[in-house]
């Protein structure tokens, strides 16, 4: 974890509510699944965001402008700066996995982009299942296609299979020795009940973002754990929903 100041390189709108924010600064190596806490002027608490990519002293954050803070971020321009905590939390474990399945629900697909790049560096082409509410919500499809075999689903059938992520997995008959999932809590719960051979990236309301306030604690078989410190990535077999 590092406290630093980051400069906005670009802030591009991908669809009606989703943005790609690229920031530069003094950034240590990032592990897929780790996140950054960004300060937003006028808001007391920093906002946590998964790190979608990290390369050449730059990180990419994908976010949805749905609240006051993120709507303020949507107005950031090139050259603006923000105070940030980067490289926070425990990321995905890619060891001993030869046939990975990456599952992203909505904005939850964000940390899977860097994960897919890590598997590519290992000589592995992952299967990638992206589930969205509808076609308008979709993003980064071509970017993911450059890294793996992409399968799509939407709730209304406007893009890919009509149904949720777990239904799509069964429809496409996808096999894996480990899955990596990030998305809405009901989706993560469904996958954990379907198979324990996976890792889940969880979201939670955070106060400090580095483990001091205990505000983001969840229940696990090993007792309470903090999403910002022991997570955000947990084994599917340890989380109590």
In a domain, 35, yes or no: yes
Contact in structure between 2 and 28 (CB atoms under 8 Å): yes
pLDDT band for position 210 (cuts 50, 70, 90): confident
CA nearest 102: which of 20, 183, 48, 19? 183
What's the pLDDT at 19? Answer: 98
Same domain, 62 and 109: no
CA nearest 134: which of 16, 13, 49? 16
Same domain, 113 and 192: yes
What's the pLDDT at 214? Answer: 80
d(CA 201, CA 102): 11
Q: Which residues are CB-neighbours of 124 under 8 A, at least 6 positions away?
A: 97, 98, 100
| Boundary-marking domain end, from 68, 88, 108 | 88
Q: What is the pLDDT of residues 85-109, one digit of tens each?
A: 999 999 999 999 999 999 999 999 9
Domain count, the chain: 2
Same domain, 45 and 105: no
Contact in structure between 31 and 111 (CB atoms under 8 Å): no
Q: Which residues are CB-neighbours of 184 under 8 A, at least 6 positions away?
A: 105, 106, 108
d(CA 155, CA 136): 12
Same domain, 34 and 70: yes
Q: Measured between alpha carbons, how far apart are the two ends of the chain, in Å?
A: 28
Domain of residue 181, CATH code: 3.40.50.80
pLDDT at 121 over 80: yes
Contact in structure between 234 and 200 (CB atoms under 8 Å): yes
Same domain, 105 and 196: yes
Q: At what angle do helices 165-172 and 185-194 cross, to 10 degrees?
A: 40
Q: What is the pLDDT of residues 10-65, one digit of tens each?
A: 999 999 999 999 999 999 999 999 999 999 999 988 999 999 999 999 999 999 99
pLDDT at 208 over 80: no
Same domain, 109 and 196: yes
Quote the mean pLDDT of the chain: 96
Domain of residue 83, CATH code: 2.40.30.10
Same domain, 107 and 169: yes
In a domain, 240, yes or no: no
Q: What is the pLDDT of residues 152-166, one digit of tens each?
A: 999 999 999 999 999
Q: What is the pTM of this model?
A: 0.96
Same domain, 173 and 111: yes
What's the pLDDT at 48? Answer: 94
Same domain, 37 and 126: no
Same domain, 197 and 150: yes
In a domain, 54, yes or no: yes
Same domain, 140 and 182: yes
| Boundary-marking domain end, from 66, 88, 110 | 88
Residues in the chain, overall count:
241
More confident residue, 18 or 1: 18
Contact in structure between 235 and 226 (CB atoms under 8 Å): no
Q: Which residues are CB-neighbours of 54 under 8 A, at least 6 positions away?
A: 27, 29, 30, 60, 114
| Boundary-marking domain end, from 26, 58, 88 | 88
Domain range for 34 is 2-88
Same domain, 57 and 112: no
Block residue for tokens 């730059």: 58
């Amino acid at each position: 974890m590092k406290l630093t100041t980051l400069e906005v390189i670009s802030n591009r709108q991908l669809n009606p509510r989703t943005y790609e924010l690229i920031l530069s600064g003094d950034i240590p190596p990032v592990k897929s699944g780790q996140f950054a806490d960004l300060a937003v002027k006028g808001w007391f608490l920093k906002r946590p965001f998964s790190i979608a990519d990290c390369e050449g002293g730059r990180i990419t954050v994908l976010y949805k402008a749905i609240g006051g803070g993120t709507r303020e971020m949507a107005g950031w321009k090139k050259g603006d700066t923000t105070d940030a905590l980067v490289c926070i939390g425990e990321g995905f474990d890619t060891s001993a996995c030869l046939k990975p399945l990456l599952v992203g629900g909505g904005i939850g697909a964000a940390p899977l982009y860097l994960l897919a790049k890590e598997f590519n560096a290992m000589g592995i082409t992952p299967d990638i299942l992206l589930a969205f509410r509808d076609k308008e919500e979709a993003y980064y499809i071509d970017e993911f296609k450059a890294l793996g075999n992409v399968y799509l689903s939407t709730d209304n059938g406007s893009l890919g299979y009509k149904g949720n992520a777990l239904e799509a997995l069964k429809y496409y008959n996808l096999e894996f020795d480990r899955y990596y999932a990030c998305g809405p809590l009901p989706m993560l719960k469904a996958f954990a009940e379907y198979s324990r051979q996976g890792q889940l990236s969880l979201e939670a309301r955070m106060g400090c973002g580095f483990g001091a306030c205990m505000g983001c604690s969840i229940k696990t078989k090993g007792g309470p754990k903090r999403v910002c410190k022991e997570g955000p990535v947990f084994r599917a077999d340890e989380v109590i929903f």
